[in-house]
Amino acid sequence: MLHRFYPDREADTAYEIDYEGLYRQGYRGIIFDVDNTLVPHGAPADERAIFLFNRLRSVGYQTVLLSNNKEPRVKSFSEAVGSKYIFSAGKPGIAGYERAMNLMGMTSKNTIFVGDQLFTDVWGAKKAGILNYLVKPIHPKEEIQIVLKRQLERVVLFFYRKQK
């Protein structure tokens, strides 16, 4: 039962993933969560995020930011990094993931998802058939509903890592 929440892959941060290697394997689109995946919750795009998106474009990737946040938050971040975006995405529902793939002209076979939460990001990507990376949250300060979900995530990750 818990397997549905297990990430396909893990990384410490979104910034250390071998995107060039994944490109050589045929991946061409990347969907990113924003808050606590690329920057701390509510923070603007920083130099590291801007550099990453420039690097991904130079490799040949299409990108979309997929967030459950409201448009002003996601739009300002997307403008700073030069990416398409979807706000109020309804993760873990698959409609936002499918819309993101359509925006990039991609399919689940050549798309990657990167996010920091199991029950929204990873579960939604898995339901959409997308290779997913779970990254560690960038900053410990989070909204109370996320703090509560993190407690449940610890249980799932315990069993995930135990079976590896």
Architecture in CATH of 2-163 = 3-Layer(aba) Sandwich (3.40)
pTM, rounded to two decimals = 0.89
Please, is 7 exposed, middle or buried when counting C-beta atoms within 10 Å of its C-beta (0-12, 13-18, 19+)? buried
DSSP state for residue 44 in the 8-state scheme: P
Rounded Cα–Cα distance for residues 66 and 116 (Å): 12
Q: At 109, is the secondary structure helix, strand, or coil?
A: helix
Q: Taking the CB of residue 159, how many other CB atoms lie within 10 A of it?
A: 14
Burial classification of residue 129, based on how many CB atoms lie within 10 Å of its CB (0-12 exposed, 13-18 middle, 19 or more buried): middle
> Whole-angstrom Cα distance, residue 17 to residue 158?
22
- Residue pair 113/86 in contact (Cβ under 8 Å)? The answer is no
Neighbours of 39 (CB within 10 A): 20
**What pLDDT sits at residue 148?**
66
Determine the pLDDT at residue 85: 98
pLDDT in tens, the chain (164 residues): 677 888 999 999 999 999 999 999 999 999 999 999 999 989 999 999 999 999 999 999 999 999 999 999 999 999 999 999 999 999 999 999 999 999 999 999 999 999 998 889 999 999 999 999 999 998 766 665 666 676 777 777 777 777 76
Per-residue pLDDT of 79-90, as tens digits, reads: 999 999 999 999
